Amino acid sequence: MDFLIASAHASAPAGQGEGGTFSLILMLAVFGLIFYFMIYRPQAKRVKEHKSLVSSLAKGDEILTQGGLVGRISKVADDNDFIVIEVAENVEMTVQKGSVATVLPKGTIKTL
């Protein structure tokens, strides 16, 4: 048993020196890339698509809001962030442009 203990004492102590610093920087860079490609980039793409959707809204479009309302746009104001939608005959509501989830195909309201 004495020969195992002697060889353990004879080994050189492991230092963290330059190799540890480089591996830490490499690990942080890998985490940064994972964060960018898995979280930031897809979210930025969704924001860009939603911004183009909101900017392309026009009178007569049938929309679905994030709250679940389905209606036809009756008034769009370019100077503010609100639109007026008609949810039923002679029933209009004012909603924010940002609350529009999607533009529905023409004739969708008639089928509901």
Q: The domain that contains 73 carries what CATH number? A: 2.30.30
User: 96 with 88: CB under 8 angstroms?
Assistant: no
* Same domain flag for 43 and 66: no
Phi and psi (nearest 5°) for 94? -105, 125
Is residue 2 domain-resident? no
Q: Which pLDDT score, from 0 to 100, does residue 47 have? A: 96
Please indicate, yes or no, whether residues 101 and 62 belong to a single structural domain of this protein: yes
Cα 68 to Cα 87: distance, rounded to the nearest angstrom: 11
Decide if 100 contacts 58 (C-beta within 8 A). Answer: no
Q: Whose CA is closest to 57, among 91, 112, 95, 108? A: 95
pLDDT of residue 78: 81
| Residue-wise pLDDT tens digits, 34-76 | 999 999 999 999 999 999 999 999 999 999 999 999 999 999 9
Q: Structural domain of residue 88, as residue ranges?
A: 58-111
Same domain? For 102 and 62 the reply is yes
Per the prediction, the chain carries an average pLDDT of 88
Q: Could you tell me if 67 and 89 lie in one domain? A: yes
Residue 73 and residue 95 in one domain: yes
> Residue 5 domain-assigned?
no
Report in angstroms the alpha-carbon separations of 27 from 14, 91, 96.
Answer: 20, 58, 43
Which strand ranges, in their side-by-side order, compose the sheet holding 91-96? 91-96, 82-88, 70-76, 62-65, 100-104
pLDDT surpassing 80 at residue 7:
no
Q: Are residues 26 and 50 in the same domain?
A: yes
Q: Are residues 50 and 71 in the same domain?
A: no
Number of domains in the chain: 2
**pTM for the full model?**
0.70
